[in-house]
Structure 1
Amino acid sequence: MTPILETTAVALVYILLLQPFYLLEILPFWGFLEEEKKKPFCRAWVALTVAETALTVGLVRSGLFPSEPAAYWAIGYIVWLPQFLLSFLATRKYWVGHLFILSFRILLSSCFYTFLRHFFLYFWPESEFVSMYFWQILFYGGECLISFPILLRFFTRTFSHFQEAAARRFWRSTTIIPMLLAVDTLYVSVYDSQERYFDLLGARILLLIVVVLMMAAIRRGQQEVYDEIRAYEEKHQLQQQVVSAANYVKMSKESRQRLEAIYREKQDHIDQLLDLVRQKDRVGVLTYIEELGEEFNSTKLPQYCRNPLINAALTVYLSRAREEGIPTTISVDLPQDLTCSGDLSIVLSNLVENALIASGKQPEDRRNITVLARQQGDMLNITVLARQQGDMLNILVKNLFDAPVLLDEEGLPVTKVKGHGIGMKSLARFRDKYGASVLCQKKDGWFLTYLQVDMGAKGVGD
């Protein structure tokens, strides 16, 4: 093999072995990246990999360094930068998370490099270290590959609720600790470690222990934050259900009081009708009966569906819509014994409430809410959500809305307004619990949320 081909092969192996560690910068945030940006990002990443390989070959062959191992050692300090910047810019609103991951990469890389130097110096003390640089690259790459799935799992779980944690300023203070350790480690590695690998072994082992303990402590702290958030959301949902039930009971009492008032006045109504009959006032009789019928109708609560929980939730929120003069179109046909009715009533409450809030921001002639729910059947021609097995529950809630709607990585609306957004979290939990399909879409001036649940899926009957 010619020298140029040998250098190219080694450089390619070197760059490829480093890619898993570089991917730690983007994979935990991959779900946060907009769908239309993913393919261009992958193409840019491949282009950078090819460019870095060519740059490495050029620098190694340039003679700027006293030896090839020295060249690879120096290149290792800069070759990570393009991928880091690409990941940073693609998901820059999570910048503190990228710095956090970078700090851990630096700490672990320092430990790995010290370990590989000790390994070769211990087992081959008589061999020239320079002559074994290719095996050093493989050893270092092996350390990275072994640690990659563990680190990816840690970072992905840690940043799974990044939006909520960022609001608590958790990361901006937590990230300072590994960053300071990383700066100290880099200083020691560059200026004080080239001839003191055995002296640094104990320090690197302690550093690795500190890193592991810090990862465990941060993960535990994050879990407590997430548990607190989850408990708050569940409490909010329970309060919402209690308030909805209380309002429904109040409306029922008011309806009963109106009916009792009509009943108390029944003799007056009969006398009035008899007088009109004696006068042979046929028009007056019909008019009076119609007025009396309307009065009776006003005592009845709407019956949207046979399921009591869902009917109560819809009654409360759609009554608010009528009070605010918002036109509504309702067609709900759900069974009485629906097993997920408790969770579904919360989801529907949140969706209709969100539609009410959004409609309140529209001009009066641009207010409209539609709620459709069917068991089985095809309400929408949305092939991406089509299922082939089991009885399907199809739910559509839509409202007119002119403003743009920002969707997160899961396709759910996001808001920066403090105290809002809990409804979408309840929808996400419903989706995960029951294996539902959810589509949120802004189309033709309408914002719609389409929910499809396979009633035969595992979890629906829990």
Structure 2
Amino acid sequence: MTTFGVTWIYVLILQPFALLQILPFRRFLTAAQKKRLVICWCLLIVLEAHLVTVIVSMAIFPSHQIAYWLLGYLIWVPQFLLAFSFTRRFWAGHIFIAAFRILFSSIIYTFTRAILLMAFPDKLLPSLYFEQILLYGILSLLIFPILLRFFTDTFRHFEMASTRRYWRIITLLPVLLAIESLYLSLLNSQEQVFALLLPRFMLLIVIILLMASIRSGQSEVYRELQVFEKEHELQRQLVSTARYVKMSEESRHRMASIYEKRRHHIDHLLALVSQRDREGALACIEALGAQFSRTKLPQYCKNTLINAALTVYFARAKELAIPVTAAIDLPEELSFSGDLSIVLSNLVENALLASQKQPPAARHIAVMTMCQGDVINVLVKNRFDAPVEFDEEGLPVTHVKGHGIGMKSLSRFCDKYKASVFCQQKDGWFMTYLQVPLLAEASDRSR
């Protein structure tokens, strides 16, 4: 029973470092995947505790301390494989994290042995194995939040801000260091604890410098990524504006054509009146009215920027034979009209792309906005029956290269204007609901 209790403590103490394999990638997992992962993880813990208890009790090794030490090199493998199976596309990241785990485990292990030998000089290390397990767990818990934050930040934009070539090269550094550390540990760490203190300390400095250099390099990459996304948004604004100008020019030409033929229309109408052809005159007037209507651009809302953006994308929906329902109620003047027009453009464009994947009879887009008190409510929804993957922030995730910028733009908009967003897939509809406080007006002016 004592061995069973110590083993449970031992297995649980190893879990923080094991969780480093999956927690940095949790935002890429669906709710169903997270649930399955938790169940499998708990089953693994129970299975490992029982197997280690059996192996240690069989007295195969000279002492319990050596048994736990050697089993520690193998017990991390099941959780590694489990995390790998759920996020295989991050294989380079998993190897990268595993190498860091080995490095920090080796350093902590050496430090704990040295501390115990100095604290209890009259005792042999094998008799202090339980104290070493506890001390190892304490140091692991202290360093766990630092490593978790580092890895989470490192892989936050993994798919967009990194390349396979980069990770193939950078992953080699901690892997080679880990191999060297394992070699020293297996070779003579049991006999030369104090001799390894200085090399381990130097290794710790090297790891810290390596982590700092990686974060510094990635910060530059992320800044470049933000610049790229901003340029992408500006380019789309320019394209949207150019299309709106073109539509306005076409409208002007249609009006000019009607104006040039005004004498013909008037003569024709007078002839119908003189002939007392009431039905013909009404038909002529209706035809003229229809022609005048075609010269006008749709007016979806009073806000000029947002109306221009919606006009362009709704015209695109009409070209694709996608029905659109629009009920736009927005103030004529908004200090964040430009940013909101970008967000709406992205949402409607995403709806257009998703609608094209639906059968023609199952296509529909609805855009509705409403001002209630000091809050602007925005709802954009479209028919979509395929499953949608969501990240930990509740936003849809895409693994298609070059896509997903629109959702990042939405996330930044929410951060900037203290807005809230909720995405949901229900009854064959994908919906994005956005709430923007009008107090954002004042905060935007203060910037």
TM-score scaled by length of structure 1: 0.88
1:453 matches 2:417 = no
Q: 1:129 aligns with which of 118, 121, 125?
A: 125
Q: Which residue of 2 aligns with 1:322?
A: 318
- State the Cα distance separating 1:72 from its structure 2 match: 1.8
Q: Alignment partner for residue 298 of structure 1, among 291, 294, 312? A: 294
| 2:17 aligned residue (14, 21, 29) | 21
Question: Is the CA contact (8 Å cut-off) linking 1:330 and 1:371 kept in structure 2?
Answer: yes
How many Å apart are 1:319 and its aligned residue? 1.4
Question: Which shifted more, 433-442 or 247-256?
Answer: 433-442
Aligned equivalents of 1:139 and 1:457: distance in 2? 52
1:199 paired with 2:195, answer yes
Q: Are residues 146 and 442 of structure 1, via their aligned partners in 2, closer, same or farther at CA, if it must alter by over 3 Å?
A: closer
| 2:437 maps to amino acid | M
Q: Which residue identity is paired with 1:13?
A: I
Distance in 1 of aligned mates of 2:420 and 2:35 = 24
**Matched residue, 2:332:** 336
Inter-partner Cα distance in structure 2 for 1:170 and 1:121 = 42
Task: Give the partner amino acid of 1:208.
Answer: L
1:236 aligned partner: 232
* Alpha carbons of structure 1 residues 152 and 360: separation in structure 2 relative to 1, 3 Å: closer
C-alpha distance in 2, partners of 1:131/1:199?
21
Deviates more, 1:235-244 or 1:8-17: 8-17
**Closer/same/farther in 2, CA of residues 10 and 460 from structure 1, 3 Å limit:** farther
Q: 1:270 aligns with which of 258, 261, 266?
A: 266
What is the rounded CA distance, in whole Å, between the counterparts of 1:458 and 1:271 in structure 2? 57
1:58 aligns with 2:54: yes
Q: Distance in 2 between matches of 1:10 and 1:205?
A: 29
Say if 1:375 and 1:391, in contact at 8 Å, map to a contact too.
yes
Letter in 1 for 2:245: V
CA shift, 1:226, in A, is 1.7
Q: Given the superposition, is the C-alpha separation of residues 86 and 459 from structure 1 closer, same or farther in structure 2, using an over 3 Å criterion? A: farther
Quote the residue 2:142 is aligned against: 146
The alpha-carbon deviation at position 405 of structure 1 amounts to: 4.2
Structure 2 letter corresponding to 1:350? N
Q: What residue number does 1:396 align with?
A: 379
SS of alignment partner, residue 333 of structure 1 = coil
After alignment, is 54-63 or 195-204 more displaced? 54-63
Of structures 1 and 2, the one scoring higher in RCO (CA 8 A, sep 6+) is 2
Determine helix, strand or coil for the equivalent of 2:326.
strand
Q: How much identity, in percent, do the aligned residues show?
A: 56
Q: Is the 8 A contact 1:436 1:453 kept in 2?
A: yes
CA distance in 1: counterparts of 2:278 and 2:382, whole angstroms: 45
- Superposed displacement of residue 217, structure 1: 0.9
Q: Partners of 2:388 and 2:48 in 1: how far apart?
A: 39
Unmatched tracts of structure 1, length 5 or more? 377-389
1:181 Cα deviation (Å)? Answer: 1.3
Amino acid at match of 1:418: K
The Cα RMSD (Å) is: 2.5
Pairs aligned (count)? 444
The whole-number CA distance in structure 2 between the counterparts of 1:406 and 1:132 is: 49
1:188 corresponds to: 184
Q: Relative to structure 1, is the Cα distance of residues 69 and 414 closer, same or farther in structure 2, using a 3 angstrom cutoff?
A: closer
Q: Which stretch shows the higher mean deviation, 75-84 or 428-437?
A: 428-437
Is 1:284 aligned with 2:280? yes
2-side partners of 1:39 and 1:407: how far apart? 14
Aligned residues of 1:392 and 1:452 also touching (Cα < 8 A) = no
The answer for the alignment partner of 1:420 in structure 2 is: 403
Distance 1:358 1:199 in 2: 63
Give, in whole Å, the separation in 2 of the partners of 1:423 and 1:337: 24
Q: What SS class does the counterpart of residue 298 from structure 1 fall into?
A: helix
